[in-house]
Structure 1
Amino acid sequence: MKNVQQFSTLLKPLAASLALAGLVAVSLAGCDSANSKVPDAPAAGGPPVSTAAVVEKQITETQEFSGRLEAIDRVEIRSRVNGFITSVNFKPGSEVKKGDVLFVIDPRPYQAEVERTEGAAASARAKAGLAKLELTRSEKLLAEKAIAQREYDEKAADMKGLEADARAAQASYDAAKLNLSYTRVESPISGRVSKAEITVGNLIDATAILTSVVSTDRIYASFDGDEDTYLRVAGTAQKGTPVTVKIGLANETGFPHEGKLEFVDNRLDPATGSVRMRATFANTDRELVPGLFARVQLDGGNGPKAQSTALLISDRAVGTDQSRKFVYVIGADNKAEYRAVKLGPNSDGLRVVREGLKVGEKIVVNGLQRVRPGAAVTPQLVAMDFDPTAPAAPAKPEAKDAKIAAKAASTTKE
C-alpha cells in the first residue's frame, strides 16, 4: 500500500508536465495555422477610370484668336494758334459731344486783329468802288473823244488793282476771323476725353497737343487670322455676306459681345502667314474700352446658320506627346489603346476631332495619368461633358437594400 501511494505521488508531476506540453503544442499549432494563411488574391481588372462615348452632332464651325480693342475715331486735340490758356472746360475722362468747347485761348489779340483787318477791307472796297465810278465816267468821255485812250486805260488798270487789293484785304479779314475762332478749341467728335495735357495759364504755340478724344458708341476688335481662316471668310466678306464675330473680355466667360466682320486686309504677311482682320461692335454700355485684350471667336464664314457634322470630345481626354495629341480608346477587352488625333476648334465646351476617332468609341476622360498603353482598366461610363470637380449627387439605396431596411424596421417595431 505504501508503494502504491509513492508511485501515485511520482505520477502527478509527470501528468502535469504532459498537460503543459499538450497546451504548448496546441498553441504552436494555432500560430502555425495563422502564419500559414494564404494572402488575398489581387482584385480583378485594372485601375478605375471614367470613360465616355465620342459624341457626334451638328455644330457651327468657329475659330478663336487673340485681339485688341481699338477706337473707331481717335483725335488728338491740338492748338492752331499761339496764346495763353484761359479756361479748361471739361472733366478728365468724361464724355463730350461734338462741338463742345474744351479749351479757351486768350482771344483779345485775335479780336483786335479782326477789327483791324475789317477796317482795311472796308477801305479797300471803298477805293475800288471809287475807281469803278471814275472808269464809268471815262468811258463816256472816251466816247465823246474828250480824253485820250491812254488815260482811259490807266483808269481801267487802277480799278483792277484796287479791286485786287480789296479782295486781299477781305482775305486777311477772313483769316483773322478764323484765327479768332481757333481760340475756342472744340471737340471734333463725340466721345470720351482724356486729361488736359496743358493747364490754365500756360503759353502754348500752334500744334501743341492739348488732349485727345476717342469715340465710344462703336468700337473695333482687331486680330490676326491664319491662312485657313482667310481662305474661308475672305470670299464671303467680299460678297457682302455678314460674318459673325464674337468677343469676350479677360473677366468674362464665353463670348457675350456679338459684332460683324468689317475688314479683311488685301494681303497675308509672308513672314507669319497671318492676315489682319477687324470687326465692329456696338458699345452702348461703354464697357468696351480701346486697348483692352479680347478673345475673338470667328464663325465659319458661310453665315451664322451654316452647320456641319463633327465628332466632339472633352479636352480632359486629350494628352500631349511631344508635338502630337492623343487619347486612350477602351477596347472590348477593357484595355487602353493609344490613339493619335487631330483636333479642331472648341464648340460649346467640347473639342472638335478631325481625325483619329469614330462615333461611339469610348475614351478615357478622367484618370488619364493612371492609364498605360495596352494595360487593362476598370471603365466607369460617364457623360462626355462630365465634370469630375462637381460635387457628387447623394447616392440612392438600391431596391434590395431598401427591402432589407424595411424588414429590419418592421422587426424592431414588433
Structure 2
Amino acid sequence: MKKLKYLFLTLFTSTLFANPMMHKMPTPHVDVYKITPQKSIKIDDLTYPAQTKAYRYATVVAKVNGTLQKIFIKEGNKVKKGDTLFKIDDSIYKANLLEAKANLQMAQATLYKAKKEWLRTKRLFERHATSVQANDISFSAYQVALSQVEMAKATLNKSQINFDYTSVKSPINGLTTIKRVDIGNYVTIGLPLIDVYNIDKIYVYFSLPESQFKKLNKEYYIDGKLKVDILKNGKKIATANVDYIDNKFDKETSTVQLRAILDNKEHKVFPGDFVKVKLANVYEKNVILIPQKALLQTQKGSIVFIAQNGKVAIRPIFSFSEYKNKYIVKGLLKPNDTVIINNFFHIKPNSKIIVDKVIGE
C-alpha cells in the first residue's frame, strides 16, 4: 500500500499541472480524522537484551590447612547460612586448643600468686618494713603475670578460631555448585572448595543506547520508579524494579548500563541466563496519533493532507513510529487539525474538497 501511494504521488506531482486546460472535475469528497492530542501513551516497543547474575554468591574457601575428612552436602542442593559443608581433620587444632586452655589456667594461677605476693609486699612497704626495690620487684612480677594471662587468652581465642575453621560453613543462604575437592584431599588456606549462589533474588543487567536514554529524560516520562518486564523465550515471566543506573556512558558502545533486581523465589531464571527486558512503565507525553493510511510518502519525505477552510493543505511529517494501528507522528500538525484519510487520487494541494465524515479518537 505504501509503494502504491508513493507511485501515485510521484506521478501526481509530475503531471499535476501539466495540462492547465483539463476539464473541470466535480469537487471530491473526503473523510477526515480529527486530531485529539493524547495526554500520554504507554511505549511498548522499548525492548533490550539482558543477562542475569546472582544477587549474592560466595566462594567458600579453606581457612586452615588439613586433610578433608567429610562432605555434608550434595551438589546443587539448598543450604542455609551457617550450615556445615565440609569437615577438615581437626586433631592438631584440637590439641592446640587444649594446650591453649591449659596455658591460660597456668597463667591465671601465676597471676593469682603474683597478685597476693604484691599485695603482701605493698602492705609491708607502707609500714616501712621492706625496701623500695622489693616492692618494685613484686609489682613488676604482678604486671608480667597480668600480661601473660592476656597473651594466654589471645592464644586460646586463636586456637578456638582455627579449631572452628575445621568445620567449613556456608556464609550465605543459597544453592551449592559442583564441589572442587573430595574426601582425602589436602586443602590449604585460601583454596576454593565450593560456590554458593543465592538466587531468590537475581540481578538483570542491560544497556540502553544513548539516544534512548536521553529520550527517557526528555520526551518520555516514567510512572514512578522505572520497571522492566522480564521476557524469557518471548514470554513475560516477571516484572522487576530498576535499582541502578550507571552515571556514565560507555564511550565504545554509546550505551549506559542499567540493572534490575528480580524477585526469583520460584527460580524462573538462573545466573548467566540471556533474557530480554521491556521497559514497563514508560510513557510519551502530548502524543499526536494519526491513522496509518493517512501518512503519504513522497520524494521529499513524509506528508499528510489536511482539510483547511474547505481546501487541501500539506503538512510535513518529520518522524513517525508505529503504535497499534496508528502512527505516532512528529511534524507540523496541531490539535483539531483534520487529516484526510481517503480519496487521495482525486485531490491535490489547494484544491477544494467536501468533508463527508469526521472521525474522532
TM-score (norm 1): 0.61
- 2:237 touches 2:268 (CA, 8 Å); kept in 1? no
Q: Match for 2:198: what amino acid?
A: S
Match of 2:150 among 163, 167, 189: 167
1:60 aligns with 2:38: no
Shift of 1:341: 7.0
User: Given the alignment, which residue of 298, 305, 313 partners 2:279?
Assistant: 298
Are 2:287 and 1:309 equivalent residues in the alignment?
yes
Conservation of the 8 A alpha-carbon contact between 2:229 and 2:279: yes
| Mapped partners of 2:227, 2:132: distance in 1 | 80
Cα deviations by residue, 1:286-318 (Å, 9 ceiling, x for unpaired): 11111111211124657xxx865354889xx9x
Does the residue aligned with 2:199 lie in a helix, a strand or coil? coil
In structure 2, runs of 5+ residues without a counterpart are 5-31, 306-315, 334-338, 343-361
Write the letter of the residue equivalent to 1:135: W
8 Å contact kept, 2:291–2:341: no
Q: Deviations along 1:196-231, whole A, 9 cap, x unmatched?
A: 110111111110000101112111111122334544
Give the letter for the 1:309 counterpart.
V
CA RMSD of superposed structures (Å): 3.7
Residue equivalent to 2:108: 125
Q: Distance in 2 between matches of 1:65 and 1:354?
A: 23
Name the structure 2 match of 1:374: none
Residue 191 of structure 1, aligned match among 158, 166, 174: 174
Which structure: greater helix fraction?
1
2:71: which partner in 1? 88
Q: Report the 3-state secondary structure (helix = DSSP H, G, I; strand = E; otherwise coil) of the residue aligned with 2:230.
A: strand
1:221 pairs with 166, 181, 204, which one?
204
Cα distance change, pair 165–99 in 1 and its aligned pair in 2 (3 A): same
Return the structure number with greater relative CO, CA threshold 8 A, min gap 6: 2
Kept in 1, the 8 Å contact 2:223–2:282? The answer is no
Deviation at 1:242, TM superposition (A): 1.7
Pick aligned residue for 1:285 from 222, 246, 266: 266
1:139 aligned to 2:122? yes
**Cα distance in 1 between the residues matched to 2:73 and 2:326:** 51
Match of 2:257 in 1: 276
Q: Matches of 1:287 and 1:312 in 2, distance apart?
A: 40
Counterpart of 2:131?
A: 148
Larger Rg: 1
Aligned twin of 2:185: 202
Q: Deviations over 1:121-162 (max 9, x none)?
A: 111111112111111111100011111111111111111112
Gaps of 5+ in 1: 1-45, 47-52, 320-325, 331-338, 363-414
Change (3 A) 1:307 1:327: closer
Which residue of 1 is the match for residue 18 of structure 2? none
CA distance in 2, matches of 1:65, 1:147: 90
1:194, distance to aligned residue in structure 2 (A) = 0.2
CA distance in 1, matches of 2:131, 2:116: 18
Answer whether contact 2:70 2:183 (CA < 8 A) is retained.
Answer: yes
**Distance in 1 (alpha carbons) for counterparts of 2:145 and 2:303:** 97
With over 3 angstroms needed to count, the CA separation of the structure-2 counterparts of 1:300 and 1:207, relative to structure 1, is: same
Mapped contact 1:234–1:264 kept (Cα < 8 A)? no
Relative distance call for 1:154 and 1:352 in structure 2 (3 A) is farther
C-alpha spacing 1:148/1:231, structure 2 compared with 1 (3 Å): farther
What does 1:333-372 correspond to in 2, within 5 Å? 342=319, 344=321, 353-355=328-330, 361=341
Deviations for 1:154-211, whole angstroms, at most 9, x for unmatched residues?
1111111121111111111111111111111111111111011101111111100001
Greater strand share, structure number: 2
Which whole-Å deviations, capped at 9, do the CAs of 1:318-372 have from their partners, x for residues lacking one? x9xxxxxx99999xxxxxxxx997455x76x67964447987757xxxxxxxxxx
| Gap change, CA 1:350 and 1:170, over 3 Å in 2 | farther
Aligned mates of 1:214, 1:158 — CA distance in 2: 55
Q: 1:273–1:146: structure 2 CA closer, same or farther, 3 Å change rule?
A: same
Normalised by the size of structure 2, how large is the TM-score?
A: 0.69
- Report the residue type matching 1:292 in the other structure: D
